[in-house]
Every structure is written in C-alpha cells, then in structure tokens.
Amino acid sequence: MSRSRLTKARAGSNGIVRIIFQETIAALKTWPERKHWASALRLSIPALAIIGFIGFLGGWVIWYPLDRWQDIVKALLIAVFVSALPAELFFRGFLLSALAKFSPRWGAWLSTIAFAAFYPVYGLLNETKWNGVFLSLSFFVAMLVFGVILSHIRIVSRSLWPVIIIHGVAALIWLCVLGRRFY
C-alpha cells in the first residue's frame, strides 16, 4: 500500500472513531423526554421480572438480603461503577454506535450478543466469586433478554442515562436482596 493510501486509511479510521466517541458523548449529554422514561419503565419492569424468574430457575436469584449498611454501600458502588456505567458506556455507547453505522438492527443484536458473551468470557479469564453464575446458561439467556431491552431503550431514547440507571438498579437489587454475597 502506498504511503498516501495508508495515511488516508488511518485518517478515515480516526474519523470514524471520533464520530463514534462524539455520538457516545452526545448520548450522555441527552436527557430523555418524559415519554421515553415511561416507555423504558414499561419495557424494563416486565423484562426484569422475566430475568428474575430465569435466575430463580438457574439458582442465582435467591432471597438473601444484606443486613449491614456497609454492605449496601459497597453493593451500590459495585452496581454503579463496576457493573452499570462501564458496561453501558461500552456496549450501548461505543459498540452500538459503531455497529449501527452499518445497520441499526444488526448493530443492536450484535452489541447485545457481545454484552451477553462478555460475562462467560470474563468468568473464564478471571477468577472471581461470580464465575459459577457467569458461566451458567441461564445467566447468558438472562443477559440476552436484558441486552435486547437495554439496546431498544438506548435506540429509542437516544440517551445512555435510562440504560445506565436501569442496569444499575437491577444490579443493586441483585446484590442487595436477590443474590448471594459475592463480594
């Protein structure tokens, strides 16, 4: 490849990355309208009930509430800063924006599959207390359901805030009330 063609190719890829980054920042700056919040709740509440049922059948959703406020604060920090924020920035921010350039529908599906596949891959590459859950088929199916709903909400609302908040609340409920003490 000639030097000028290589330079143009690099400039083109830098431009695409810059556009995807700008779209993700725009989605963070956008606060959805009231109707989008209502729609997000109408979709997410039944989806979370389905996910809870799948988790109950899979054995990773049990009644095990935390009883110390220190554990609740720790669960809140984990739910927001370890689970919801980074996952939504990457999967519904950068990845969905990048894949939607080619096809919005396929972009949503591929980012959802990547989101669901992340957990077992993470479980295989890292020794965490969550490995038993992350490697289960029921958790993969639950994350597919969750990812589809979150991708839809992100596309319709054009904002990352509903999906960050819904993901954070779901993770917090699981860590505080319906999960095992994994941390």
Q: Which of 175, 111, 173, 165 has the alpha carbon at shortest distance from 143? A: 111
Measured in degrees and rounded to the nearest 5, phi and psi for residue 26 equal -60, -40
Which 8-state DSSP code applies to residue 1? -
3 state DSSP class of 24:
helix
Encoded tokens for 46: 């039944």
Total residues found in the chain within this entry:
183
Tens of pLDDT along 52-76? 999 999 988 888 888 888 988 998 9
Q: Which amino acid is at 148?
A: V
Q: What does the domain layout of the chain look like in residue ranges?
A: 3-178
Chain centroid to CA 82: how far? 11
Tell me: the pLDDT tens digits for 119-159? Answer: 999 888 887 777 888 899 999 999 999 999 999 999 999 99
**pTM across the whole model:** 0.87
